[in-house]
Amino acid sequence: MSGKIIDFTELKKGDFHWRGYFRIGIFLIIFIVLLLIVFTNVYIVKEGEYKVVRQFGEVVRIDKTPGLKAKVPFIQSVMTLPKYQMSSDVSEAEINTKDKKRMLIDNYAVWRIEDPKKLITNARTFENAETKMEEFIYSAVRSELGQLNYDEIINDEKSSRGSLNDRITEKVNELLQNDNYGISLTDVRIKRTDLPAENEASVFKRMISERESKAQEYLSKGDATKNRIVADTDRKVKELLSTAEANAEVIRAEGEGEAAKIYNKSFSKDPEFYKLYRTLESYKKTIGDQTVIVLPSDSPYASLLMGNTK
């Protein structure tokens, strides 16, 4: 049979090239896997954050300083926690005041993580720690506001919110420290106080009634002040008039006395003229349009009327 001659030497050469490529591929795959392992187990610690390294659920290391760090592949994991201060809106809650009024309180809190290991150990997660803090805040707010009347909370003039916020912050920090949650509360503030919808109408009516009562009180005080001022003015006017009349009487008496002196001095110089003057003055007082006088014809008083001046 006519057969084809097979050159085994050529076949061996081809097999050699295939094996070389295979080895290069394996090497590249191993290299890439090693790179992936390195890159996935190297991490960067940034400013303002904690890196918590955990192994089988337990905290083995906490990196606080910025830089490039590494962990053990496969058996260690890294958790990031914020290092800076954070602000949280506390859920709106309903409380009862000392005078048995219901009101809604809306707070916000400023806090930070002090010890990440305690947080992970006792709270397990960042969210759980925040939830626990909110529960403590609500408990402290309810306790503190329950000792105040409604007007003391909403009235800016009577309000003691500054010291109230400080007391709430101190109480919550004590609770957080007792439970070792590794977080601390910097400040807590009341953003808004409101009434439940079913109570608003009655409270508004009461506020209107109180304002009207206050307005009436101001009007009454104004009327009382006005009456007092009018009475004081009338009294002063009467006193001034009395003083003026008394002074006028004194001046009049002094004038009449001085006039009498002048009359006496003048009439003493001519007694007959004074007698005639006095008689004529008496006519003015006794004789009018309808006056009828019956006198003897030889009466001295009648002689003047008849024109006899001798």
Q: Tell me what pLDDT residue 171 has.
A: 93
Position 2 scores a pLDDT of 47
Q: Measured between alpha carbons, how far is 57 from 28 in angstroms, rounded to an integer?
A: 34
CB 165 within 8 A of CB 105: no
CA quadruple 247, 248, 252, 253: dihedral sign: negative
**How far is residue 10 from each of residues 16, 19, 20, 24, 25, measured CA to CA in Å?**
10, 15, 16, 22, 23
**CB-CB contact of 54 with 120 (8 Å):** yes
Q: What is the mean pLDDT of each run of 10 residues along the chain (310 residues)?
A: 51 58 83 80 90 89 90 88 91 83 87 93 90 92 85 62 81 93 91 72 77 90 92 92 91 87 76 73 70 67 61
Residue 36: the pLDDT is: 82
Q: From its phi and psi, is residue 295 left (phi > 0), alpha (psi between -120 and 50) or beta?
A: beta
Hey, what domains does the chain have and what are their CATH numbers? 21-81 (no CATH), 85-194 (3.30.479.30), 270-306 (no CATH)
Tokens of 105: 């309180």
Query: What is the pLDDT, as a whole number, of residue 136?
Result: 94
Placement of tokens 């081809």 in the chain: 14
Global pTM? 0.55
Report residue 249 as tokens. 């009487």
CA dist., res. 45 & res. 24, Å (int): 36
